[in-house]
Amino acid sequence: MTDVPPAATHWVPLESNPDWSSKAGLVTSRFAYSDIYGLDEELLSLVPQPVKAVILLFPITEPIDRKMQEEVDHVRKHGQHWVDSNVIWIKQTIGNACGTMGLLHAIMNAGVPILPNSPIKKYIDACRELTPLERSGLLETTTIFSEIHAESASAGQTAPPEATARVDLHFTCFVSAPDPIDPNKKRLIELDGRRDSAFDRGECEDLLKDAARVIKECYVEAAASVQFSMLALAPPPEF
């Protein structure tokens, strides 16, 4: 699978830099990003609760791409469990924008407080009735996000590469959403702009634990790599 069409707009690659979110409008005194240091139960227990979204940075490897393509093909042929209509998913058409896409997908679908009249509030209001491709087109033409993205990229711990550089790392996001068939249950939804749509990962009882299980089974075990990083959108840690 390719990241975006070759002719798409390209942004400077973004590190897992959650400062972007406060600039975009997330009320970081209520919810912020915490590192997830591992997938075992003891390390997951260190993450503040409640977790509202999980962002994964993973390497684009042949085994992972092959598994993703198999999942996409299965959905195209057989369909999938209905995804709640309120879930906002954006098709990625901007090269190297997956970091911003992951942060956007998390904040827009987590039900966390955001500032009125902030860039992300305006974007949510504008894109709710748009198609996933139209949402991406709006993202391409809304300079506020590209400016925040560029500022956050330049503030990373390493010097940013060129905007057209190929970066073999990608961000995806996990959130929970009501089950349209049984409103008493939740579903684990993966939001990745490289796919065809929001992707249902099954029943969700504990977002952090269920996302960790999927990450381990579908990503870590499929990649001969240690280039993984995870963030949880959760209340700020108490010190």
Residues noted as catalytic: 98, 170
The position carrying tokens 């993973």 is 58
Alpha carbon 236 to its chain centroid, in Å, reads: 19
Quote the CA–CA distance of 118 and 103 in Å, as a whole number: 15
Quote the CA–CA distance of 221 and 181 in Å, as a whole number: 31
Quote the CA–CA distance of 88 and 139 in Å, as a whole number: 13
Give the Cβ contact number of residue 165 at 10 Å: 12
Quote the CA–CA distance of 173 and 166 in Å, as a whole number: 21
Give the Cβ contact number of residue 65 at 10 Å: 15
CA distances from 77 to 71, 80, 144, 188 (A): 10, 9, 38, 21
Instruction: Determine which helix (DSSP H) or strand (DSSP E) holds 105, and give its type and residue range.
Output: helix 98-109
Beta pairing class for 53-59 and 229-234: antiparallel
